[in-house]
Amino acid sequence: MKSLKRIFLSVILIISFIGAQGNDIQVSSATLVGQDVSAGANNVGNFTFAQFDINWSNSWRVGSGPNNWDAAWVFIKYRIEGGTGCTPGDWQHATLSNVGVNHSITTSNGVVGTISPSADGRGVFMYRSGNGSGAINWDQVMLRWDYGADGLLDACNVSIKVFAVEMVYVPQGNFYIGDGASNAGQFESAISGAPFQVTGEGALTLGGGGAGSVGNNNRAGEAAPQDDFTDATSVSLPAAFPKGFNSFYTMKYEISQEQYAEFLNVLTATQQLARHGATVVNRYFNNGGTPPTRNGVKCMVLPSGSTPGTYGCDLNNNGVANEANDGQNIAFASLSTMDFLAYLDWAALRPMTEFELEKIGRGTNPAVLNEYAWGSTTIHSTSYAALTNGGAGNELPNSPSTTVGNAAYNTTANVGGIQGPLRVGIFATATSSRVVSGASYYGAMEITGNVWELVVGVGGLSGRSFTGIHGNGTVSAAGFANEDFWPGSNGNNNIAVANISSNPGSTSFAGIMFRMGSWQDGNWLRLSDRGYPGWTGMGNRDARMGGRGVRTAP
């Protein structure tokens, strides 16, 4: 039999911080080895291994308190380049074995690791097996790619790209939603004003005031469109809607500019034009010639016909992409809901719900009145300008607080010299506390501020119809997310109508809301603020919008 060939190999570094202050994840030395055709020529059971090295800094696992760990979500894209009987094509998502023992770490360099594959074969989670902290350096990781299941012939020439995204694990357990305040639609237990404790994934009654129901302070402080439930009117939140009780993983950081650029670079020309605003070469996301609000993602080569373009980060606007100070690690703002959901679908993640958002921030702790995502009520209130090493992987704020929570919002970041989001993880150091680093209970960064978090809301039927289906690694031919019951290409533009399945062609966005404030806003920064609960989604690109994905734990 001919071996599975490679005409070239391409490895993408999804987050690549530079310097001691940064958190980082890097993939290197990727190759294909160990093709197995014992099932027969061109059999669906044939497989090979993607071998690579992976490393990141400041990894941890703790057995008490949060009782969680950080992890890498690793997935692979491939493209057929030729070969006997093989037709060159576009980038596709590789199917990995869903059996854990079929994957391995050859050299752990002192940190034993666990590989936990997803049941659907879309990727694997990699994390340390025992408690500890420090750098991960795993060499010759072997992930089994079931290429036969993807329809590839044994003699196909392929190229691959290995992607890794930093995540944190959120364990199963009870938690509270609402913080006892009543100024922005905060959740409450019935009409008591007290936080509501989530104790399972069963169906819930929203509104109506009855025992065991989830209230919203009768919509006090909510901007229109408001929740469709009140103290007097109730609706049902189905059992299928993810409530955050079950374990899941969340991205440690908001989607970065480098991550979004590399997403663009494996799309078709049609998909690229849908997911980036440039219609002229050397233009940015807003189709302008200069970076808007620190958004350096630029079209370096314009898509032409069926030939995809090339995208990179060029924050300094000198025409050379991906230099050290080109903003690769700045949070990506200016996303529309469609851009955001397409990225999550492509990465085999899903949007989080607003219940899950509060669990990520608060964990199992009792709610604190008016708390931010770091668990206290105090926040830094002077400008971070001028930045040190602006746009670089070790970008740092000027004079951050050493005692209270740090966050990018209008007072600190919508000021001369910044006026845009900051580097993801910017406030964390090797010795900083949860409060000073602006971290959530489970270690997710910048939940408060930087860019708005786009989440699935419960304020209308469109959001409540969400069932937590994961992205499958593939977007529609037109460049939209196309998962059942998601807002997106199966969505609608009416918050009062359920998002459905098998609804090709629709590209509306009802059911997505935004929470937690941004670099430009001082409102709704607190963990339980729900100032826009009935929002129907963002159809237009907005310089404040970003977010992160989650995935239900295997």
Instruction: Return the ∠ at Cα 450 (arms to 279 and 404), rounded to 5°.
Output: 165
Same domain membership, residue 283 and residue 392: no
* Residue 88 resides in a domain: yes
Same domain, 286 and 421: no
Asked if 143 and 27 touch (Cβ cutoff 8 Å), the reply is: no
Q: Are residues 384 and 285 in the same domain?
A: no
Number of domains, the chain: 3
Structural tokens at position 545 = 């919008």
Structural domain contains residue 236 = no
Task: Answer yes or no: do 285 and 153 share one domain.
Answer: no
Provide DSSP, 202-266.
Answer: S-EEEES--TT-EE-GGGTTPPSSPPS--SS-EEEE-TTS--S-S-EEEESSPPBHHHHHHHHTT
Residue 519 lies in a domain: yes
The DSSP symbol for 376 reads S
**Domain-located, residue 393:** yes
Q: Judge if 146 and 280 occupy the same domain.
A: no
Give the three-class secondary structure for 101.
helix
User: What are the 10-residue block averages of pLDDT along the chain, 554 residues in total?
Assistant: 39 32 79 98 98 96 97 98 97 99 98 99 99 97 99 98 98 99 96 99 99 98 94 98 99 98 98 96 96 97 98 98 98 93 97 99 98 98 98 97 98 95 95 96 98 95 94 94 76 68 55 94 95 76 96 98
292 and 335, same domain (yes or no): no
Question: Do 288 and 369 reside in the same domain of the chain?
Answer: no
Specify whether 151 is located in the same domain as 110: yes
Looking up residue 349, the CATH number of its domain turns out to be: 3.90.1580
* Residue 33 amino acid letter: V
Question: Taking Cα atoms as reference points, which of 229, 167, 237 lies closest to residue 204?
Answer: 237
- Position 13 in a domain: no
**Amino acid 509: pLDDT:** 66
* C-alpha–C-alpha distance, residues 458 and 354, integer Å: 8
Say if 237 falls within a structural domain: no
Q: What is the pLDDT of residue 489?
A: 53
- Structural domain ending residue among the three candidates 121, 142, 168: 168
| pTM to 2 decimal places | 0.95
List the domain range (segments joined by +) for residue 143: 25-168
Residues 422 and 515 in one domain: yes
3-state SS class at 350: strand
Considering the domain boundaries, does residue 456 fall inside one? yes
3-state SS, residue 143: strand
Q: Is the dihedral of CA 256, 488, 274, 552 positive or negative?
A: positive
Give me the torsion for CA of 388, 450, 242, 247, rounded to 10°: 20
Q: Which one of 130, 152, 168 terminates a domain?
A: 168
CA angle 478, 482, 488 (to 5 degrees): 90
Give the C-alpha separation, 374 to 287, whole Å.
37
Instruction: Let me know whether 368 and 498 are in one domain.
Output: yes
- Rg of the Cα atoms in the chain: 23
Among 168, 199, 234, which residue terminates a domain? 168
Whether residue 497 sits in one domain with residue 395: yes
Same structural domain, 141 and 74: yes
Longest alpha-carbon distance in the chain: 71
